[in-house]
């Protein structure tokens, strides 16, 4: 299972939120590039870089940070936040991202999303399926839709999506453990490689996610709060 470190960027700094609430923001690094180098030095190969400013603004804001990290490390970067146009997608790939996770456009403009999937392929276009009470949320988790998360994923699976990143927002940043029940249900959908996110706080929980069949796990707040250390999770890579 891939171990992926979350790097959420706002105002040029690495921060973490709790349950997607921007008022709970806590700064963990003033220098995202230095943090990225530390992650690479520990033996981690994958990061999930979230442009929180972009997610709220509806356009990419922190592309310079993406470019700096991709140009100075060998990390495999998955980028998310503010992706709304084909030029956005081209721009972040040109800036060095390996893949993108897209949620809002998959809800608001399915035809556009599927055109990106067709052009770049299912290895590079990851479906973002973040949810609250099993309903899909969009636009930096600020808007809740009526889409059931399982039906949402099942529909896109039938249209060629192979990788899905899912955060249960009620658990995100709480370090109360991942949504195992939800993830088990998602993994019953054919042809889905699931990247789990939200609430992960122990090595045992990471191993449990691997046991049920998750393809990847995104680790965030537990790492920054010291409940997990880079050396602990690097052993699992």
* Cβ partners under 8 Å of residue 88, min gap 6: 59, 60, 82
168 is catalytic: no
Catalytic residue among 8, 51, 168, 172: 8
Q: Does the annotation count 78 as an active-site position?
A: no
Alpha helices in 83-229 (DSSP H): 86-94, 104-108, 110-120, 149-157, 180-187, 203-212, 221-224
Burial per residue of 19-32, b for 16 or more beta-carbon CB atoms within 10 angstroms, e otherwise: ebeeeeeeebbeeb
Least Cα distance to 47 among 91, 22, 77, 3 occurs for: 77
Rounded Cα gap, residues 196 and 131, in angstroms: 12
Task: Give CA angle at 103 (134, 194), nearest 5°.
Answer: 65
Active-site annotation holder among 53, 78, 88, 130: 130
Residues forming a β-bridge with 144: 137
Active-site residue numbers? 8, 130
């Amino acid at each position: 299972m891939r171990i992926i470190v979350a790097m959420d960027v706002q105002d040029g700094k690495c921060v973490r939120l709790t349950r997607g609430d921007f008022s709970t923001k806590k700064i963990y690094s003033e220098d995202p590039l230095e943090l990225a180098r530390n992650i690479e030095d520990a033996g981690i190969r994958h990061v999930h870089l979230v442009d929180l400013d972009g997610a709220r603004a509806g356009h990419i804001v922190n592309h310079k940070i993406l470019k700096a990290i991709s140009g100075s490390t060998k990390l495999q970067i998955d980028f998310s936040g503010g992706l709304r146009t084909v030029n956005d997608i081209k721009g972040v790939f040109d800036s060095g991202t390996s893949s993108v996770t897209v949620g809002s456009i998959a809800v608001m403009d399915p035809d556009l999303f599927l055109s990106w999937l067709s052009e770049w392929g299912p290895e590079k276009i990851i479906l973002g399926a973040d949810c609250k009470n099993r309903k899909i949320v969009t636009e930096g988790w600020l808007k809740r839709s009526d889409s059931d998360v399982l039906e949402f994923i099942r529909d896109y699976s039938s249209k060629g999506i192979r990788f899905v990143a899912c955060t249960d927002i009620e658990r995100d940043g709480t370090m109360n453990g991942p949504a195992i029940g939800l993830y088990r249900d998602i993994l019953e959908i054919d042809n889905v490689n699931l990247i789990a996110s939200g609430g992960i706080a122990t090595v045992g929980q990471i191993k449990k996610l691997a046991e049920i069949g998750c393809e990847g796990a995104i680790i965030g707040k537990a790492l920054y709060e010291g409940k997990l250390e880079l050396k602990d999770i690097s052993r699992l890579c």
